[in-house]
């Protein structure tokens, strides 16, 4: 996990962080300096930033940025090695955190691994193919056109009020009351044709997780642990 942040950490700060990271890399580390056998290890390996093609002074500015923007902690990994690690009082390395939407990045990474292993034939595979054993509501040509890539891009077109831009979070409230979250997301009506409108949604990665389970025969969490 690259960064653990407070629940109220706003999107603008996240975007600012990634903008800063664009200036941190000096360039790729020399090929002869890269260890191709980083994994598996029981502990994270560490390195100086410069050994991994990064600028210590720029990373120091990033640590300072975290202090002024209410970070709990900051962890930067490059080439499988920790190059920067910082914790901001009162938080320490051994305090567990709920990471909230960082889980979306983990789920997307798992899907990439499934694809790389050949269990998923293509990213433009229609979503509904993986749920042929379910009765899905509100099926129309638009819903039939949703692909795995649309789920990853948050462009599925499913009607969803996350409350991210001042909405009432109605979809989230209804989801929490549902006995089957995957079915709830699948049954959502369409608001837009897939691929046209970005709409941040917890529902999309839930379907990605369900697809991972379909393809691997195990829960996404179990696949991740393996």
Q: Are 78 and 53 in contact (CB under 8 A)?
A: yes
109-144 residue pLDDT tens: 999 999 999 999 999 999 999 999 999 999 999 999
Closest to 126 measured CA to CA, from 140, 111, 144: 144
CA 135, CA 98: separation in Å to the nearest integer?
34
- Decide if pLDDT at 183 tops 90: yes
190 bridge partner residues: 158
Average pLDDT over residues 58-76: 95
- Decide if pLDDT at 194 tops 90: yes
Please tell me the predicted confidence (pLDDT) of residue 32: 43
**CB atoms inside a 10 Å sphere around CB 79:** 18
- pTM confidence score: 0.71
User: What is the average pLDDT value for the chain, to the nearest integer?
Assistant: 87
Please tell me the predicted confidence (pLDDT) of residue 6: 36
- Decide if pLDDT at 8 tops 60: no
CA 150, CA 165: separation in Å to the nearest integer?
20
Question: The tokens 């190059």 sit on which residue?
Answer: 83
CA 143, CA 140: separation in Å to the nearest integer?
5
Average pLDDT over residues 86-105: 91
- Domain locations along the chain: 11-87, 102-225
* CATH T-level topology, domain 102-225: Beta-lactamase (3.40.710)
Please tell me the predicted confidence (pLDDT) of residue 12: 37
pLDDT, greater one: 18 or 96: 96
């Amino acid at each position: 996990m690259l960064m653990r942040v407070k629940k109220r950490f706003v999107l603008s700060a996240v975007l600012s962080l990634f903008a800063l990271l664009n200036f941190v890399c000096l360039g790729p580390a020399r090929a002869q300096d890269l260890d191709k056998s980083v994994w598996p290890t029981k502990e994270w390996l560490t390195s100086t930033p410069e050994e991994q093609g990064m600028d210590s002074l720029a990373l120091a500015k990033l640590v300072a940025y975290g202090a002024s923007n209410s970070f709990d902690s900051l962890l930067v990994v490059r080439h499988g090695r920790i190059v920067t690690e910082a914790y901001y009082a009162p938080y320490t390395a051994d305090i567990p955190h709920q990471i909230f939407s960082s889980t979306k990045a983990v789920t997307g990474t798992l899907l990439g691994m499934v694809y790389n292993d050949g269990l998923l034939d293509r990213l433009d595979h229609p979503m509904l193919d993986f749920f042929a054993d379910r009765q899905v509501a509100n099926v129309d040509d638009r819903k039939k056109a949703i692909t795995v890539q649309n789920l990853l891009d948050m462009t599925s077109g499913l009607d969803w009020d996350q409350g991210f831009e001042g909405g009432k979070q109605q979809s989230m409230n209804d989801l929490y009351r549902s006995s089957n979250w995957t079915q709830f997301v699948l049954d959502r009506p369409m608001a837009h044709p897939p691929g046209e409108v970005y709409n941040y949604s917890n529902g999309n990665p839930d379907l990605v997780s369900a697809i991972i389970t379909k393809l691997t025969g195990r829960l996404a969490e179990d696949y991740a642990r393996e």
